[in-house]
């Protein structure tokens, strides 16, 4: 078994950034080329919206 979770895996990404908004804000501000006045200060999580056509049998 791996000692650490793979940060590229969707479940790991959601676990880390879904529970720690401050980490997501820091990550986005470091990754995106934003001016000082345009930096991200808060985030809002929205529930995923699935339709019947999104679900494959």
- Look at the pTM and tell me if it is higher than 0.75: no
Contact 45, 18 (CB under 8 A): yes
Top-ranked range on mean pLDDT: pick from 3-7, 28-32, 44-48, 52-56 = 28-32
Q: Domains of the chain: which residue ranges?
A: 8-37
Tokens encoding 7: 């940060």
Residue 46: pLDDT band with limits 50, 70, 90: confident
- Residue 25's nearest CA partner among 11, 5, 48, 42 is 42
Q: Please tell me the distance from the alpha carbon of residue 29 to that of residue 52, in angstroms, as a whole number.
A: 35
Residue pLDDT, tens place only, 9-42: 778 888 888 888 999 999 999 999 999 889 999 9
């Amino acid at each position: 078994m791996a000692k650490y979770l793979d940060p590229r895996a969707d479940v790991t990404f959601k676990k880390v950034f879904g529970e720690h908004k401050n980490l997501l804000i820091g990550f986005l501000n470091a990754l995106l080329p934003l001016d000082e006045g345009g930096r991200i200060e808060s985030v809002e999580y929205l529930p995923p919206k699935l339709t019947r056509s999104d679900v494959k049998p």
